Amino acid sequence: MKNLREQTDAKIAAGRKNNPDFMKGVDDIIAKAKDFEDGKNALKVGEKAPNFSLPNAEGKLTSLDSLLEEGLLVITFYRGDWCPYCNLQLRALQAKLSEIKSLGANLVAISPQVPDDSLTKSEISEMDFIVLSDQDAKVASEYGVAWEVPEFLAEHMRADRGLDLEKINNGNGSVLPIPATFILKSDGVVAWNYVNVDYRTRSEPEEIIKALKKMS
Protein backbone atom coordinates (compact mmCIF):
# COMPACT_ATOMS: atom_id res chain seq x y z
CA MET A 1 0.00 0.00 0.00
CA LYS A 2 1.28 3.46 -0.91
CA ASN A 3 2.10 5.80 1.94
CA LEU A 4 0.45 9.21 2.20
CA ARG A 5 3.25 11.07 0.42
CA GLU A 6 3.14 8.68 -2.51
CA GLN A 7 -0.64 9.09 -2.74
CA THR A 8 -0.49 12.89 -2.64
CA ASP A 9 2.40 12.96 -5.12
CA ALA A 10 0.30 10.87 -7.49
CA LYS A 11 -2.64 13.27 -7.13
CA ILE A 12 -0.38 16.27 -7.75
CA ALA A 13 1.09 14.59 -10.85
CA ALA A 14 -2.41 13.87 -12.17
CA GLY A 15 -3.36 17.49 -11.58
CA ARG A 16 -0.33 18.71 -13.49
CA LYS A 17 -1.31 16.47 -16.41
CA ASN A 18 -5.03 17.22 -16.43
CA ASN A 19 -5.01 20.90 -15.44
CA PRO A 20 -1.50 22.30 -15.92
CA ASP A 21 -2.51 25.98 -15.93
CA PHE A 22 -4.27 25.69 -12.60
CA MET A 23 -1.45 23.73 -11.01
CA LYS A 24 1.05 26.32 -12.27
CA GLY A 25 -1.10 28.99 -10.59
CA VAL A 26 -1.10 27.00 -7.35
CA ASP A 27 2.69 26.62 -7.55
CA ASP A 28 3.03 30.40 -7.92
CA ILE A 29 0.71 31.07 -4.96
CA ILE A 30 2.56 28.60 -2.75
CA ALA A 31 5.92 30.08 -3.75
CA LYS A 32 4.66 33.55 -2.84
CA ALA A 33 3.25 32.30 0.45
CA LYS A 34 6.60 30.75 1.30
CA ASP A 35 8.39 33.98 0.37
CA PHE A 36 6.16 35.82 2.83
CA GLU A 37 6.76 33.04 5.34
CA ASP A 38 3.07 32.26 5.82
CA GLY A 39 2.79 29.95 8.78
CA LYS A 40 5.91 31.36 10.46
CA ASN A 41 3.82 32.21 13.53
CA ALA A 42 2.65 28.62 14.02
CA LEU A 43 3.14 27.18 17.48
CA LYS A 44 6.68 25.97 17.93
CA VAL A 45 8.13 23.09 19.89
CA GLY A 46 8.29 24.06 23.55
CA GLU A 47 5.38 26.51 23.40
CA LYS A 48 2.13 26.03 25.33
CA ALA A 49 -0.90 25.39 23.15
CA PRO A 50 -3.93 27.66 23.74
CA ASN A 51 -6.95 25.94 25.22
CA PHE A 52 -10.11 25.60 23.12
CA SER A 53 -13.64 24.32 23.34
CA LEU A 54 -15.09 23.25 19.99
CA PRO A 55 -18.19 21.34 18.84
CA ASN A 56 -18.11 17.89 17.29
CA ALA A 57 -20.46 16.67 14.55
CA GLU A 58 -23.35 16.46 17.03
CA GLY A 59 -22.65 19.93 18.43
CA LYS A 60 -21.20 18.64 21.71
CA LEU A 61 -18.35 20.79 22.99
CA THR A 62 -14.94 19.22 23.55
CA SER A 63 -12.15 21.12 25.31
CA LEU A 64 -8.43 20.74 24.88
CA ASP A 65 -8.02 20.41 28.63
CA SER A 66 -10.31 17.37 28.70
CA LEU A 67 -8.41 15.73 25.84
CA LEU A 68 -5.06 16.30 27.53
CA GLU A 69 -6.28 14.52 30.66
CA GLU A 70 -5.88 11.29 28.68
CA GLY A 71 -2.22 11.94 27.79
CA LEU A 72 -0.45 12.77 24.55
CA LEU A 73 -2.56 14.42 21.86
CA VAL A 74 -2.10 14.68 18.11
CA ILE A 75 -3.95 17.68 16.64
CA THR A 76 -4.23 17.99 12.88
CA PHE A 77 -5.83 20.94 11.09
CA TYR A 78 -7.46 20.18 7.76
CA ARG A 79 -9.37 22.30 5.23
CA GLY A 80 -12.58 20.27 4.94
CA ASP A 81 -14.13 17.09 3.61
CA TRP A 82 -14.30 18.69 0.14
CA CYS A 83 -10.48 18.71 -0.06
CA PRO A 84 -9.16 15.50 -1.69
CA TYR A 85 -5.75 15.90 -0.06
CA CYS A 86 -7.44 16.14 3.35
CA ASN A 87 -9.41 12.98 2.69
CA LEU A 88 -6.23 11.12 1.80
CA GLN A 89 -4.64 12.37 5.00
CA LEU A 90 -7.55 11.46 7.26
CA ARG A 91 -7.81 7.97 5.80
CA ALA A 92 -4.06 7.48 6.23
CA LEU A 93 -4.31 8.58 9.87
CA GLN A 94 -7.27 6.28 10.44
CA ALA A 95 -5.21 3.37 9.09
CA LYS A 96 -2.49 4.12 11.65
CA LEU A 97 -4.77 5.08 14.52
CA SER A 98 -4.39 1.84 16.48
CA GLU A 99 -0.61 2.31 16.50
CA ILE A 100 -0.98 5.95 17.52
CA LYS A 101 -3.22 4.95 20.41
CA SER A 102 -0.90 2.12 21.44
CA LEU A 103 1.74 4.80 22.03
CA GLY A 104 -0.54 6.57 24.51
CA ALA A 105 -1.87 9.28 22.21
CA ASN A 106 -5.28 10.39 21.00
CA LEU A 107 -6.01 12.10 17.69
CA VAL A 108 -8.27 15.07 16.96
CA ALA A 109 -8.89 16.65 13.54
CA ILE A 110 -10.08 20.27 13.28
CA SER A 111 -11.59 22.08 10.29
CA PRO A 112 -13.61 25.30 9.84
CA GLN A 113 -16.65 23.51 8.44
CA VAL A 114 -19.90 23.64 10.37
CA PRO A 115 -20.35 20.55 12.58
CA ASP A 116 -22.84 18.65 10.41
CA ASP A 117 -20.57 19.08 7.38
CA SER A 118 -17.14 18.35 8.86
CA LEU A 119 -17.53 14.85 7.43
CA THR A 120 -20.59 13.01 6.21
CA LYS A 121 -22.39 10.78 8.68
CA SER A 122 -21.09 7.64 6.98
CA GLU A 123 -17.50 8.88 6.97
CA ILE A 124 -17.68 9.96 10.61
CA SER A 125 -18.93 6.53 11.60
CA GLU A 126 -15.85 5.00 9.97
CA MET A 127 -13.43 7.30 11.76
CA ASP A 128 -12.35 6.45 15.28
CA PHE A 129 -10.84 9.82 16.10
CA ILE A 130 -12.46 13.09 17.16
CA VAL A 131 -13.49 15.63 14.50
CA LEU A 132 -14.13 19.20 15.69
CA SER A 133 -15.39 22.36 14.01
CA ASP A 134 -13.51 25.66 14.24
CA GLN A 135 -16.12 27.71 12.38
CA ASP A 136 -14.53 31.14 12.69
CA ALA A 137 -10.96 29.81 12.36
CA LYS A 138 -10.25 31.31 15.78
CA VAL A 139 -8.36 28.28 17.01
CA ALA A 140 -6.44 28.05 13.74
CA SER A 141 -5.47 31.69 14.23
CA GLU A 142 -4.39 31.10 17.82
CA TYR A 143 -2.24 28.19 16.67
CA GLY A 144 -0.76 30.38 13.93
CA VAL A 145 -2.06 28.35 10.99
CA ALA A 146 -4.95 30.46 9.64
CA TRP A 147 -4.53 31.44 5.98
CA GLU A 148 -6.61 33.83 3.85
CA VAL A 149 -7.32 31.89 0.66
CA PRO A 150 -6.15 33.83 -2.44
CA GLU A 151 -8.91 34.78 -4.86
CA PHE A 152 -7.34 32.59 -7.56
CA LEU A 153 -8.03 29.49 -5.47
CA ALA A 154 -11.40 30.71 -4.19
CA GLU A 155 -12.57 31.40 -7.75
CA HIS A 156 -11.38 27.98 -8.92
CA MET A 157 -13.37 26.38 -6.13
CA ARG A 158 -16.50 28.33 -7.09
CA ALA A 159 -16.24 27.93 -10.87
CA ASP A 160 -14.82 24.43 -11.27
CA ARG A 161 -16.09 22.67 -8.17
CA GLY A 162 -19.18 24.61 -7.13
CA LEU A 163 -17.71 25.27 -3.69
CA ASP A 164 -18.34 28.56 -1.91
CA LEU A 165 -16.14 29.01 1.14
CA GLU A 166 -18.57 31.53 2.63
CA LYS A 167 -21.28 28.86 2.67
CA ILE A 168 -18.98 26.00 3.61
CA ASN A 169 -17.66 27.99 6.55
CA ASN A 170 -21.09 29.27 7.60
CA GLY A 171 -20.50 32.83 6.45
CA ASN A 172 -17.13 33.15 8.16
CA GLY A 173 -15.14 34.13 5.10
CA SER A 174 -12.43 32.46 3.07
CA VAL A 175 -9.96 31.70 5.84
CA LEU A 176 -8.74 28.11 5.92
CA PRO A 177 -6.11 26.46 8.08
CA ILE A 178 -2.70 25.66 6.73
CA PRO A 179 -2.69 21.86 6.99
CA ALA A 180 -0.62 21.43 10.13
CA THR A 181 -0.09 18.79 12.78
CA PHE A 182 1.00 19.19 16.40
CA ILE A 183 1.81 16.66 19.09
CA LEU A 184 1.06 17.98 22.57
CA LYS A 185 2.31 16.53 25.82
CA SER A 186 -0.21 16.11 28.65
CA ASP A 187 0.74 19.57 29.95
CA GLY A 188 -0.25 21.14 26.62
CA VAL A 189 3.31 21.91 25.50
CA VAL A 190 4.12 21.29 21.84
CA ALA A 191 6.55 18.38 21.53
CA TRP A 192 6.52 18.06 17.71
CA ASN A 193 4.98 19.91 14.80
CA TYR A 194 4.65 19.90 11.03
CA VAL A 195 3.56 23.07 9.21
CA ASN A 196 3.64 23.54 5.44
CA VAL A 197 1.71 26.25 3.61
CA ASP A 198 1.53 23.98 0.55
CA TYR A 199 -1.86 22.35 1.17
CA ARG A 200 -0.89 19.47 -1.10
CA THR A 201 1.82 18.31 1.32
CA ARG A 202 0.99 16.70 4.68
CA SER A 203 2.81 15.09 7.57
CA GLU A 204 3.32 11.39 7.02
CA PRO A 205 1.60 9.24 9.70
CA GLU A 206 4.86 7.31 10.11
CA GLU A 207 6.60 10.58 11.04
CA ILE A 208 3.99 11.15 13.76
CA ILE A 209 4.46 7.60 15.03
CA LYS A 210 8.24 7.99 15.04
CA ALA A 211 7.90 11.17 17.12
CA LEU A 212 5.49 9.47 19.55
CA LYS A 213 7.87 6.56 20.05
CA LYS A 214 10.52 8.99 21.23
CA MET A 215 8.08 10.27 23.86
CA SER A 216 6.86 6.93 25.15
The 10s digit of each residue's pLDDT in 59-110 is 899 999 999 999 999 999 999 888 889 989 999 999 999 999 999 999 999 9
Q: Is 29 left (phi over 0), alpha (psi -120 to 50) or beta?
A: alpha
Q: In this structure, are residues 173 and 166 in contact, taking their beta carbons and an 8 Å threshold? A: yes
Per-residue pLDDT at 118 exceeds 50? no
Q: Is 28 left (phi over 0), alpha (psi -120 to 50) or beta?
A: alpha
Query: Whole-number mean pLDDT of the chain?
Result: 85
Tell me the pTM: 0.85
